[in-house]
Each structure stands twice: as C-alpha cells, then as structure tokens.
Structure 1
Amino acid sequence: MLPFEIDFFEDKISSGGKMGEAKRRKATDANYGKIPKIRPKRGLIVSPPIEIEGTTLHAKSSNLDPQELRFGLLFWDELVWPSSRAIYFGSGPDEQFLESTGILTRPDYTYNGDVAQGILRGQIQAFQDREQAEPGSWALSQGENSLLLKGGLIQENQGALLELHRAIPVPTRDVPLAEILEFKRRRADELLLLRTHLDSFVGEIQRAEDKPAALEKLIEEIDSACSDLLKVGKEWQFPVYLSNLKASFSLSPTKFLPAVMGGWKLAEPYGLTAASAVATASGLASTIEVKGDFGFRSVKRPVSPYRYAFHAHEELR
C-alpha cells in the first residue's frame, strides 16, 4: 500500500463555529486522504503505429501518432521511444519538443537479424530494462495507433483486461503539448488518483478477505475518479475526446476473480453512475468491465498494469 497524505492543519473551531480546515476538507472533498503523499513516477514505452506479425512489419507512419502521444503525455511522466539503426524513425516537431523537455527519450536498441523482430525486441527490452530498475512503474503502449502485435510472444488467456468505456477525457490531436503540460501541473491530483486506482486494482482484490466488497469499493473509487476527470475535462479551453482506457495485467482474471462474484460477471459491462452523469452529452453510459486478455510469454511483472491502450469516441462537450 502506498503511504497516504496526512493533513497537519490544526483542527480548531473558530468563534463562528466553523470547522477546522482538515475537517472541512474531509467533509467536502471526496478524495481527501486518497492522494498518495509520495507521487511515484510512471513511464510508458511508446511506438509509431506499426503492426508486427512474425517477420512482417507494416508502418502506418514514421512518427508517433499525435492522438496516442497526447494520451501518453497526459497520464505518464516519462515516455521512451526505442530507436534502431536497422530502421530509423525520425522525430517530428512534437517528439522534438518533448525531447527538449526531457520527457521523451530515444535510447538505441539495435539488433542484428530480422528487422521486424528486432523492432519488437527493442520495445520489449526497453520495457524490461526500466521495469527491472523501477518495478511496477512502467507499461507498454499498444493498439492500432501504436504497437500492434500479432502472434509470436502472445499467449491467450494469460492476462486480464480492465476497460473503462467512455469514461476518460483525452485531448484531441491538435491540442498544443504545452497546454497539456500546464493542465497536468494544475490537475495533477485528479490524474494521479485514477492511475493509482488502476495500479492497485488487482492487488487490492487479491489481498481482500471480502473480495466482492473490495471489488465494489474499487469500482466506486474508479467511478468517482473518472467523474472528477470528466468534470475538469469540460472546463478545458481546448477540444477533448470522450475515450476508452484499457489496462492489461499479467494475471488471468480467474486468478483473482471467480467467474461470478457478488453478482459480477466477467466480460459484462457494469455502469459507472457518477461518470455517466457527467458524460451525458454522449448519450451513452460510462461502463467498466473485466475480461480475459493475452499476456506476453517473456514479460513478468508485479500486479500493476503492464500494457495500456485507448480509443477516442467523440468530442466531450
């Protein structure tokens, strides 16, 4: 468990009968005491939109997808894009800007032999190197607009997928990166809270004696965190998409959740009431579901997510 923030304000009652600052915050702020006092760095291994199947590599672009890049920048502190001398993808203006800030780095991972497998090996090795140095702090970005892997290292039903449907705001591809960095500075608590709940999802359920109660509590916390993010998303001065977020764990769901538990069924969406109330413009409910997912044969990590993906739906108005 992460150590949590303790408010050391002195609890005094004023002559007007008002509560002390700590009591006032506890009574009015649903997230009071939930934000980790120690804010661990989180990193993401990123890739241009490339598809790898065996020895075949298909690249849609030589740059990072602008939408994926903004998604990664919003939720992670450090981005790593492995480079290779065998097939070099150059940095564009967005990537160069983030390199100048130190947020994005491009370490060399060149391997002899097949180019497609060399690029894949570079992605996996970059992840493993950083995960070994900072356990539980790193993840891979994967999906149609980043790295899409077919066959090879994939093992079906060796992982669990937690998916939030239409529950998070993500800046559109045209939003200046500097604007996102400023938003992160101002809204660090809301962003960190959602990531903290996702990171601890499996571990909290595994440790709980009453697993149905733990699951219900975690869903409520994720719902609240998504609602808070959607609220501030509506306040942004730039366009924002209502999006899905997928977090993959290297543990089969049957290892920590029975097939049916407290009315919960795997692969069945359940409503996020608070988030749905904020995202009313979409006309569709925000939901959460847990289902089986593939895992990597060569990737072993703690119970925090090792792989993330997102899908933008429509503009959040």
Structure 2
Amino acid sequence: MSKKGIVLSPPFTPLPAGGIRCGGDPSPLDLRKYLMYWDEIDYPSNNFIHISSPDIDYLEKAKALKRTNVVFQGTVSSGQGEFFVAAQEAALMENQKNEPGSWTIAQVSGVPFYTQSHAGIAVDFELYGMLPIPSEDTPLADILEFKVQRRDELIAFRNYLDDIYQKIISSADIPRAKNTEIAKLELAINDLNKVLNESGMRRVVTNLRNTINLDFSGIIGVGLGAAGVASLIHMSPLLLGMASAGVVVGFKSIAMPGATKCPTQFSYLNSVRQNFKC
C-alpha cells in the first residue's frame, strides 16, 4: 500500500470582494480526522506567517506532521490571505515531486479556493454520518498507537475508498446501491467502528467530503439519467436513528484548481453537514 499524505490548510472563508479570511489553526477534530486516515500531514509554513497549536507541535515532534517551508518572493496576493493557499499549493507540488501520486490537499472550508482556478462540473463525493474518528479530546498519542495496532483495517478502508474514486474516474458513472465497492466500503467502515469501540476511545461519527477535480460537463445527460441530481446511497447507520447515513454523490459546478499550481485530482473539503457524537 502506497503512502497517503495530505497537505492541510488553515480554516478559511472566501470573501465576496476576493481573497479569503483565515481563522487560525485547524480544529482538534479536523486534525484527528486527517491524522487517523492519512499517513502524514503537511501543515506548511511561509515567510509571512507561522500558525501553530499544542496539537500541531506535538504531531510535528512525533513526526506525524511536517512543515514544508515556503518562501515567497515579491507580491503574492491581489486580495487578502491568498498566501495561505499559495503555500499549500507550493507544498503539494514539492511533495508530489518527491513522492509522485502520494499526496493530495484538504481545505478547511466548505468552499474551495485556489490561486488559479476555473469553473467545471465535478463529482462531489461524501460519506455522510459514516466516518468514525476519535473525539477531539482523545490524546494524540492514543491515535498514533491505534494506527500502528490497526493498520490493516485502516489500509482496507483506504483501498475501498480508492476503488470507488477510480471507478468514478474511469467510467464517469455514479456508484449504485448494489455496487460491489460500496458494499466493501460499508464492511470496512463497520470493521473500523468495531475496533475503535474495542479501543475504548470515545468516537465522533463525522463526514468525509471529496471533490473529484475532473470536468464531467461533457457527459451530463448522456446515459446517466438522474445521475446529474445528488443521490443518497443508504447504508447501515452507525448511530441509532440516523436512517439517512450513507454515501452522497452528485455532480456540482465548483471551482477547480489549475494543474500547474495545484496538481491533484482530489480535494477534500469541509462538509456543510453536522457531526454526531456516540
């Protein structure tokens, strides 16, 4: 299984007049989600600002998080705050150069933002109410130990998720309820939930949203029927009463990154949906 790394942004909100407003370090819950399901986090620094927290410092010392140092020359932004995203894109390019195909990005925002972008019809893929992660007060050392002990289950989950992404890319189709990959994914998630429960760690059932940055505009309405409308594939809920837990998949008009500045097919975004404690 190849390494999976993710370059993380600070939380931000796009501004109507252009640029973004940043709000400090990622939440403890966001850090625990990306720590749980990725091998390494890159939280880049630049010569304008260095954002840190006790959690970030601990993970850096434990070598679970690194900081790609980005040095900007001259004018970086035309609006407000773009140097945060510019640093993320530069770190992604550096990581992809050193470890091709192993890295992607996560933007702690419900809306994507890139220094160079174009509008396109992408696939928005989300595990809704399905992803178990340790709660925000879980010691980071406990999560690191869990990842060593339960590496096989975590790899199985990532494999099944990758299968679904690749099936979408290769066939330009929406996975259906009877799709084999969806069934395997449900088993992998249930296995993870079971071993997390056995570990004694308090859990939060949250969402994982991924935008597949390929322009599907050319195939909308061609043999897809209702696939252009967001669909929900129901799965066994991890929480009593969460009958709507499942996989939400749909086409969406969204900003896509320019390949020369941000070479990734996948961008992870914050969900607009609620987290659930169990």
Shorter-chain TM-score category?
Answer: 0.7 to 0.9
**Residue 66 of structure 2 corresponds to residue 105 of structure 1:** yes
In the aligned structure 2, how far is the partner of 1:196 from the partner of 1:120? 29
Q: Secondary structure at the match of 1:290?
A: strand
Between structure 1 and structure 2, the one with the greater Rg is 1
* CA–CA separation in structure 2 for the residues paired with 1:267 and 1:72: 26
Rate the CA distance shift 1:214–1:57 in 2: closer, same or farther, 3 A: closer
Mean Cα deviation higher: 288-297 or 182-191: 288-297
What SS does structure 2 have at the residue aligned with 1:281? Answer: coil
1:35-54 matches, cutoff 5 A: 39-53=1-15
CA RMSD between the two structures: 3.2
Residue of structure 1 equivalent to 2:242: 283
Greater mean alpha carbon deviation, residues 52-61 or residues 79-88? 52-61
Give runs of aligned pairs for residues 262-301 of structure 1, distance below 5 A. 266-272=229-235, 275-276=236-237, 279-293=238-252, 294=254, 295-298=256-259, 299-301=262-264
The yes-or-no answer on 1:86 pairing with 2:48 is yes
Match of 1:269, SS state, is strand
1:164 alignment partner in structure 2: 127
Q: Give 2:45's aligned amino acid.
A: S
AA of the residue aligned to 2:93: Q
| Runs of 5+ unmatched residues, structure 1 | 1-38
**1:184 is the counterpart of 2:184:** no
- Please give the per-residue CA displacement for 1:19-48, whole angstroms capped at 9, x wherever unaligned: xxxxxxxxxxxxxxxxxxxx2111011122
1:147-175 CA deviation, whole Å, 9 max, x = no partner? Answer: x5458644333422211111110112111
**1:257 positional shift:** 8.5
Deviation at 1:75, TM superposition (A): 0.5
**Counterpart position of 2:92:** 127
Distance (Å, rounded) in 2 between the aligned partners of 1:180 and 1:258: 44
Distance of 1:259 and 1:215 partners within structure 2? 22
Matches within 5 A, 1:1-317: 39-53=1-15, 56-61=19-24, 63-89=25-51, 91-111=52-72, 112-113=74-75, 114=77, 116-144=81-109, 149-150=112-113, 153-205=116-168, 207=170, 216-253=179-216, 261=224, 266-272=229-235, 275-276=236-237, 279-293=238-252, 294=254, 295-298=256-259, 299-301=262-264, 305-309=266-270, 313-316=275-278
Is 1:52–1:120's contact at 8 Å kept on the other side of the alignment?
no
Contact 1:46-1:81 within 8 A present in 2 as well: yes
Q: Which runs of 5+ in 2 are unaligned?
A: none
TM-aligned CA deviation for residue 55 of structure 1: 5.7
Shift in Å, 1:199: 2.0
Report SS of the residue matched to 2:143: helix
- For residues 114 and 168 of structure 2, the distance between their equivalents in structure 1, rounded to whole angstroms, comes to 31
Letter matched to residue 126 of structure 1: A
Query: Does the 8 Å contact 1:205/1:256 carry over to 2?
Result: no
SS at match of 1:222: helix
Residues 1:167 and 1:259: Cα distance change in structure 2 (over 3 Å): farther
Q: 1:196 to 1:116 in 2, by over 3 A?
A: same
Structure ranking higher on relative contact order (CA contacts 8 Å, 6+ apart): 2
Residue identity opposite 1:281 in structure 2: L
After superposition, the Cα gap between the structure-2 partners of 1:171 and 1:211, relative to the gap in structure 1 and judged at 3 Å, is closer
Q: Which amino acid aligns with 1:131?
A: Q
- Amino acid of the residue matched to residue 248 of structure 2? E
Aligned residues of 2:129 and 2:276 also touching (Cα < 8 A): no
Instruction: Give the Cα–Cα distance (whole angstroms) in 2 for the partners of residues 215 and 121 of structure 1.
Output: 41
Asked if structure 2 preserves the Cα contact closer than 8 Å seen for 1:266 and 1:289, the reply is no
Change (3 A) 1:281 1:236: farther
Number of aligned residues: 268
Distance 2:268 2:187 in 1: 23
> Could you tell me which amino acid in structure 2 is paired with residue 142 of structure 1?
Q
